[in-house]
Amino acid sequence: MSSVPERSEVDEEYTWDLESIYATDDDWEAAYEAVAERVDELDAYEGQVTDDADTLLEVLELSEEIMREVSTVSAYARMRRDEDTTNQEYQALTARAQSLAADAQSATSFIDPEIQELTREEFDEMVDEEPALETYDHYVDDVLRMKPHTRSAEVEELLADLSEVTGATGDVYNMLSNADMQFPTVEDPEGEAVEITQSNFVNLLKRPDRAFRQRVYENYFDEWQSMRNTVASAYKNSVKADVKMAQARNYDTAREAALDGPNVPVDVYDTLVNSVHDNLDKLHHHAELKRQALEVDDLQMWDVYMPLTGDEGPDVEYDQAAEYVVDSLAPLGEDYQSRVAEGLESRWVDVYENEGKQSGAYSGGTYDTQPFILMNYQDDISSMYTLAHELGHSMHSELTKEEQPYVYSGYEIFVAEVASTVNEALLTNHLLETVDDPEFRKHVLNEFLERVRSTLYRQTLFAEFEHKAHELEEAGEPLTADRLDELYRGLKEEYYEPAVVDDHIAREWMRIPHFYRAFYVYQYATGISAALAIVDDVLPNGPGSEPNRDAAEDYRSFLRRGSREYPLELLRIAGVDMSSSDPIDRALEMYGQRLDEMDELLD
């Protein structure tokens, strides 16, 4: 029987080094207690934030010190929980850290409303009095920009206090899908029992035996069907919370509120959707190629993840994948490349799946820690690309915190997904240029096509779904399980026109955790578009060509800027204009060209 190991059975070298944050849980406890006591220090400044330049600087610096410590305490607890989501001790630590973060947010909630009492001219005068305030120029500009959507200090404190409640549906969903749901075991063609998990589900749908894929697909979605009403209730209330919070901040729609935070015009969202719809014929072509490659009369939803090569891809063990990824990053410069290699040696990555481990992958860590990457590595090409992806996030954070003060050390998801996808695109170019094995090359080309399909098309489909779901809530229409199925199924039929859309796939919305972070997923699609444009500029003559050093330096400059400018301005540093459809159209054109290449190879 195929089984997932216990955490204790995974070699230490393939686990992340959380002891580099706190050597023991007792050290975490001491840090927690210390910062919890400091939160009350902020009370002394309420009502006095803008009294004079010195006071403004003091409160901003104190707030940063507290939030830095809170973020580290929270990150450690969350990552310990993610090692095994059934561990009650770390569930409790995470809950305490979340409460502390909410308390800290509440304690700082008066700062922005009081800053908004200033005019721009008054702040400039304060900078003249205290030059250290110049560091906060963009931050203050952003705060003043949000003045129409910021409530009184009392209301802001209330909204901060409610953050745990408004985010509770996501926590419920997370525990349900990762800790409580038990997916069935199915028999593979050799008669072996295979356990379905959140992490291996898609990988199992790449197995060559079609009847096996159908069993996995139907059993997996049948388990979701058994949780249908619970998940629908969680998502309905998540959408309702988004809408109510947007209304509380004087926005017309939840989408407008979500995009206004990073200062991204809603036109960017609509341009993405429209450009993708104008190019659905390419996705239909991809689906038809899959049907032909599989030699079936109808392409079923359990066939969609099958590679165009018609069989399982080659095994790529983790150590080999790490070597490929490091080598592929040479066009970005020796320093960038060597630092990735050092990070992999320093246990940035928690590599393998274990019982109870959080599914998926992410890059974490804080301003005061090394990066940490959670993975569920499956010894395949897809996992290798995920490693490259998450390392892009980690290096973005590393370069940013070296160059920027804490206030600009974060960055919006809109630009974050560019860094991750640049790494993926460079990996594709490197493998196509250096690997001679024709079968391996076919799988790399297939991986590129699948990445565009799943990142540009699939995430845009998700973006349409959540936009329509929020529109229904805003129009006062009930978000029942049946209505959500109907909505999702309609989009699936439009996007995958040549394929058979069945009742099981209509429930797919239930398995998407990103829906509990509203209007998030579209940024994967804009991100891959921007990334492909950047790589095209860095390697203007294609894979293996001499890199354009100026373009590579522009890209690194973009990474080093953190959040010191707004997202569209940051991307212009890297040579990309996301206010137009050009990067999206270029990405889709490349997708179409490589589909044609694959079509010829298959013939």
The yes-or-no verdict on residue 553 having pLDDT over 80 is yes
Type of residue found at 255? R
Q: For position 15, what pLDDT does the model report?
A: 97
Report the distance separating Cα 387 and Cα 385, nearest Å: 5
Q: How far is CA 224 from the centre of its chain?
A: 23
Give the number of C-alpha atoms closer than 13 A to the C-alpha of residue 291, restricted to the C-beta side: 16
Among residues 69, 390, 398, 464, which one is catalytic?
Answer: 390
Contacts (Cβ under 8 Å, ≥6 apart) of 114: 47, 49, 50, 153
Residues 396-415: tens digit of each pLDDT: 999 999 999 999 999 888 99
Q: For position 157, what pLDDT does the model report?
A: 79
pLDDT band at 155 (very low <50, low <70, confident <90, very high): confident
The yes-or-no verdict on residue 153 having pLDDT over 80 is no
Average pLDDT over the chain, rounded to an integer: 94
Residues 494-514: tens digit of each pLDDT: 999 999 999 999 999 999 999
The string over 22-52, giving b where at least 16 C-beta atoms fall within 10 Å of a residue's C-beta and e elsewhere, is beeeeebeebbeebbebbeebeebeeebbee
Residues 100-148: tens digit of each pLDDT: 999 999 999 999 989 999 999 999 999 999 999 999 999 999 999 999 9
Mean of pLDDT values over 174-178: 88
173 compared with 313, residue with greater pLDDT: 173
Contact between 59 and 111 (Cβ < 8 Å): yes
Type of residue found at 34? A
Of 91-95, 203-207, 469-473, 560-564, the poorest mean pLDDT is in: 203-207
Contacts (Cβ under 8 Å, ≥6 apart) of 385: 424, 427, 447, 451
Report the relative pairing of strands 349-352 and 362-364 from DSSP bridges.
unpaired
Residues 412-443: tens digit of each pLDDT: 889 988 999 999 999 999 998 999 888 888 88
Residues 302-337: tens digit of each pLDDT: 999 998 986 667 899 999 999 999 999 999 999 999
Residues 39-77: tens digit of each pLDDT: 999 999 999 999 999 999 999 999 999 999 999 999 999
Token reading at 357: 């481990």
Distances (CA, A) of 520 to 255, 416, 454: 10, 11, 15
pLDDT exceeding 90 applies to what percent of the chain?
A: 83
The yes-or-no verdict on residue 448 having pLDDT over 50 is yes
pLDDT exceeding 70 applies to what percent of the chain?
A: 99
Q: How far is CA 508 from the centre of its chain?
A: 19
pTM exceeds 0.95, yes or no? no
Token reading at 330: 């040479």
CATH architecture assigned to 8-166? Up-down Bundle (1.20)
Reduced to 3 states (helix: H, G, I; strand: E, B; else coil), residue 299 is strand
Report the relative pairing of strands 185-187 and 362-364 from DSSP bridges.
unpaired
Report the distance separating Cα 440 and Cα 313, nearest Å: 8
The yes-or-no verdict on residue 1 having pLDDT over 70 is no
Report the relative pairing of strands 349-352 and 372-377 from DSSP bridges.
parallel
Mark whether 390 is an active-site residue: yes
Q: For position 311, what pLDDT does the model report?
A: 66
Type of residue found at 80? R
The yes-or-no verdict on residue 598 having pLDDT over 90 is no
Mean of pLDDT values over 196-221: 93
Type of residue found at 75? A
Residues 260-312: tens digit of each pLDDT: 999 999 999 999 999 999 999 999 999 999 999 999 999 999 999 998 986 66
Enumerate the domain spans of the chain. Answer: 8-166
| Residue 569 main-chain phi, psi, to 5 deg | -70, -40
